[in-house]
Structure 1
């Protein structure tokens, strides 16, 4: 999209995994460890890319179907949880995440998180940065689609983004006034279906094939807020 086509926004919505925290790498490592227990020594890059951004249980079912391991989705989740809980204690924020969020917070730009996490998994993934992700501190609210009755369909459907927009207070945000940050193609598709602009920061492990993102950046460090009518960085 041409720079002239960027629209001013009033609210910002962030994805979590792979966008604010480097958790996708941790998930891949944990799944590879689990698969190895069942004699599958290669969690292929193709399969990793295929499930990126999928609703959790759907993605797990794809992995089970592709690898043929003899367990159910629920068994997979329990076994993987034991592995990734330990790994998540060392998870890092993505480059530029803290700078961008603190900048927008300082300028009183309302922000929310829209994630496919459950409440429990969100707590595990963000434990190292509890204050950063605390509701009412940097973020106005957090929508966790797996445990949210208002989110009937997962990404790439628009439900989670529309729910996030509705929950801003005192006035709900209009979709065309929201800017979404996503790392996955499914997330971008959902944000665009919601009528929102979407900045994509794709996983650098794979080539980016996305066609409908408003803007594609290598990292959040490359984002220029002023393109969307937001206060520019001071540095």
Structure 2
């Protein structure tokens, strides 16, 4: 989050230039993300400096004391940190720096902002971090400091270094990379997402699954109580289902009105409506949650004449992956269509299973992080609703 790489470059160049050496970008690439001692060892060795590792570290310390107090934030860092904090998303800091270097970087200008991180791990100072990046130690230690002890697949890492990306992936975590523009593209391929700036990061990916940040791929699509029960059991939370639902309700009241429409959805809904193709809405959400999500899109959702809210409808006895919700939804259409005449759109594994159990065709638009082997039951898998071609299912084609 601090934009310190150029400061490191200046500091190290000031030292090695005394011996007629250059701190090149190729060398910098190898070092980014490493702990202090590993960095010093590699620079001394690669450039064959006539000094010990300890002497290099001592010289570096003098440079850092002069340069680091003027550290600037990466563009977009302040906005992102404050956004996560405001929305009660747990955040932690995991840096290869020592506690001493961290203090130099943040104490003068950024202390209030970095105080928003309740959990901090300093790789060069923490004895629990046995190996530096690209080993996963720092991220596993950092995640373990969160009270909920999140699983690796629940963690999202932000990195600017190739070694940091390798460490995050080795830990089993997703990682957003903001690389130096000089980094070759092939070295960024391990990242889940590569962006030019934190300003380009969009926390909301145009659907509500991203707002359920504590959810797992395996339970998306289930009704509220089932969803809550699995989370409580899986994470060992000291809460009852009702207490958990009360807590999440407070958070959802703030988040759900921010929901945006997934790309391609509005065009598809209006197209089907304009061509008199019967459409209905079947969601595991309660009517209350639906109202929060649709508050800014009421005119579009009014085009659905038949709606089924799984958590609120007494006719839906079992949630997804049971087929109940789709049978109930289809039965609301006046002509009572047979299952094979129904086409379902889903983003959740359990939703796909439910549609197939009902004997219906299903188009799936999964989270891009989802293991594609889990999507095999879908009739068609798309990256976006915008890619859907109605004529493939005997529907009127879009007009160019």
> Fold-level match, TM-score > 0.5?
yes
SS in 2 for 1:131: helix
Q: Once the two structures are superposed, what CA deviation does each residue of 1:32-67 show, in whole Å capped at 9, x if it has no partner?
A: 55xx9x822636535622322222211211111122
For 1:32 and 1:173, the matched residues in 2 are separated by: 43
Q: Once the two structures are superposed, what CA deviation does each residue of 1:153-202 show, in whole Å capped at 9, x if it has no partner?
A: 11111111111111112x21221111001111111111111111111111
TM-score (norm 1): 0.79
Partner of 2:346: 182
Contact 2:219 2:350 (8 Å CA) reproduced: no
The question of 1:93 aligning with 2:258 is answered no
The question of 1:39 aligning with 2:144 is answered no
The question of 1:77 aligning with 2:242 is answered no
Q: Which has the higher contact order (CA 8 A, sep 6+)?
A: 1
Partner of 1:56: 224
1:31 Cα deviation after fit = 8.0
Q: 1:194–1:31: structure 2 CA closer, same or farther, 3 Å change rule?
A: farther
Q: 1:41–1:32: structure 2 CA closer, same or farther, 3 Å change rule?
A: farther
Q: Once the two structures are superposed, what CA deviation does each residue of 1:91-121 show, in whole Å capped at 9, x if it has no partner?
A: 1100111011011111111100111111111
Partner of 1:198: 362
* Count of aligned residue pairs for this structure pair: 201
1:64-213 correspondence to structure 2 within 5 Å: 64-134=232-302, 138-169=303-334, 171-208=335-372, 209-213=374-378
Structure 2, unaligned runs of 5 or more: 1-85, 91-117, 119-145, 155-214
1:30 Cα deviation after fit = 6.5
SS in 1 for 2:285: coil
Structure 1, unaligned runs of 5 or more: 1-28
Q: 1:44–1:57: structure 2 CA closer, same or farther, 3 Å change rule?
A: farther
Partner of 2:395: 230
Structure 1 runs (4+) deviating above 3 angstroms are: 29-33, 41-44
For 1:88 and 1:41, the matched residues in 2 are separated by: 26
Deviates more, 1:50-59 or 1:70-79: 50-59
- Higher CA-based Rg: 2
Q: Once the two structures are superposed, what CA deviation does each residue of 1:184-229 show, in whole Å capped at 9, x if it has no partner?
A: 1111111111111111111113222222111111110110100111
Contact 1:117 1:146 (8 Å CA) reproduced: yes
Q: 1:32–1:49: structure 2 CA closer, same or farther, 3 Å change rule?
A: farther
TM-score (norm 2): 0.47
